[in-house]
């Protein structure tokens, strides 16, 4: 039996869901308080500009595309004067499916359901982040990790009818299942994550990396395989089904074969160019003085991400977390997509928050609480300003 499965067996003797919820309660209550503060700030700021905060959360930008998929199905597209084609095939189906289900069984509209799904998924994501951080470190670090995820400057996206919260919840619990040796659960959740966002392949890669290492360790220890080995194989087989199934379906639908989804993304000017477009965007900021400050900020931000990942490696985070966080970060930074969206694309990379969470957990509550509260207020104000801007998050 491998280390992951040994720890998983030990965890099965731990308290059940109600006990686990009690352990996570401080983190969830803190998270809910931060998000409530953010929504209050958004409501006040929007009212001052004669805008609807609820519309900003549920019926703008990507939220509209998700509700159109829920209402009309796939096939809707917009042709721009430039010749670009924005097709709703770019949006993965799990969130629209949930919106359609919610609208069918409740009086809620598709947009209302998307908002409710995001709120519930954000709580599930916070709980999953706590579970992973507690497993890797301890309970106090788990609470701090959740609070840091809540107070991110772009944390308001967690309350929007976007797919980030749903994806992060599925990813976090899939990673927790991997860490505790629940391979079939990990594979099933990875498949659902793959139906939520293209970056679902990062969850699949984490499951596969952990499984390969587990097989190697089992063989080196003279293990005979058996039931644990069969579960690992099943988890590996399940993990890529969501993303692969949707991508292949899009290829069939467009008549362009297995890579048809890349053509759909190209219509949105999205793609993976190794970060070349982002580098040109940063370089272009230095053509003016105000832009130069933004360019310096972007460089510092990227350097901070790299430094956090290096610290994660030095702290010997489990391989699945390193693979997952690394791929999410690389895909976010090296995509040629709308550059203003990169901060929210990094939201699911929660293992990068574990090093600062460890540092925060070492402080006494009397010192850490004012820090978190101050950052929460700043994040709430920034989120309100950001969503009331002209461009999409």
Q: In 3-state terms, what secondary structure has residue 198?
A: coil
| Mean pLDDT across 56-81 | 94
Q: Where are the domains of the chain?
A: 3-266+371-387
Of the given ranges (33-42, 163-172, 246-255, 269-278), which has the lowest mean pLDDT?
A: 269-278
Q: How far apart are CA 363 and CA 374, in angstroms?
A: 16
Nearest to 354 by CA among 171, 206, 49, 135: 135
Rounded to an integer, what distance in angstroms lies between the CA atom of residue 138 and that of residue 133? 7
Q: Which pLDDT does position 335 carry in this prediction? A: 86
Q: Check pLDDT > 60 for residue 10.
A: no
CA angle, corner 319, sides to 217 and 169, nearest 5?
125
- What is the per-residue pLDDT for 389? 86
pLDDT for 222 beyond 70: no
Q: What is the pLDDT of residue 11?
A: 46
* Helical H segments across 221-348, by residue range: 227-238, 241-254, 260-267, 276-284, 289-314, 319-333, 342-345
Using CA atoms, how far residue 121 sits from 21, 125, 172, 361, 383, in Å, is: 15, 6, 11, 25, 19
Q: What is the mean pLDDT of the chain?
A: 91
Both tokens of 40, joined, read: 């209050």
If one compares 14 and 153, the residue with the highest pLDDT of the two is 153
Give 369-392 pLDDT, tens digit per residue.
999 999 999 999 999 999 998 777
Tell whether pTM > 0.85: yes
Task: State residue 2's pLDDT score.
Answer: 52
């Amino acid at each position: 039996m491998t280390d992951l499965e040994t720890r998983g067996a030990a965890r099965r003797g731990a308290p059940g869901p109600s006990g686990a919820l009690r352990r996570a309660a401080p983190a969830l209550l803190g998270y809910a308080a931060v998000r409530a503060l953010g929504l209050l700030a958004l409501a006040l700021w929007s009212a001052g500009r004669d805008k609807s905060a609820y519309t900003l959360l549920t019926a703008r930008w990507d939220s509209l595309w998700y509700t159109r998929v829920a209402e009309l199905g796939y096939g809707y597209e917009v042709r721009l004067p430039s010749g670009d084609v924005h097709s709703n095939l770019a949006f993965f189906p799990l969130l629209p499916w949930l919106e359609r289900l919610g609208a069918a069984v409740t009086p809620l509209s598709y947009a209302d359901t998307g908002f409710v799904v995001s709120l519930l998924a954000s709580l599930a994501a916070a709980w999953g982040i706590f579970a992973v951080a507690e497993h890797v470190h301890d309970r106090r670090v788990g609470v701090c990790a959740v609070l840091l995820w809540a107070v991110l400057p772009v944390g308001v996206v967690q309350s929007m009818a976007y797919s980030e919260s749903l994806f992060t919840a599925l990813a976090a619990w899939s990673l927790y299942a991997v860490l505790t040796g629940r391979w079939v659960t990990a594979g099933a959740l990875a498949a659902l994550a793959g139906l939520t966002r293209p970056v679902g392949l990062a969850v699949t890669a984490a499951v596969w990396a952990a499984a390969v290492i587990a097989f190697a360790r089992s063989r080196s220890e003279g293990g005979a395989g058996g039931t644990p080995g069969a579960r690992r194989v099943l988890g590996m087989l399940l993990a890529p089904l969501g993303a692969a199934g949707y991508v292949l379906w899009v290829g069939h639908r467009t008549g362009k074969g297995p890579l048809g989804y890349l053509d759909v993304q190209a219509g949105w000017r999205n793609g993976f160019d190794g970060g070349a477009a982002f580098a040109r965007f940063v370089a272009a900021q230095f053509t003016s003085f105000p832009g130069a400050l933004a360019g310096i900020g972007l460089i510092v931000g990227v350097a901070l991400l790299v430094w956090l990942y290096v610290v994660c490696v030095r702290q010997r985070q489990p391989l699945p977390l390193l693979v997952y966080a690394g791929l999410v970060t690389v895909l976010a930074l090296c995509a040629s997509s709308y550059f203003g969206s990169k901060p929210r694309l990094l939201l699911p990379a929660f293992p990068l928050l574990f090093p600062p969470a460890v540092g925060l957990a070492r402080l006494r509550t009397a010192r850490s609480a004012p820090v978190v509260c101050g950052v929460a207020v700043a994040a709430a104000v920034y989120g309100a300003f950001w969503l009331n801007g002209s461009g999409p998050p």
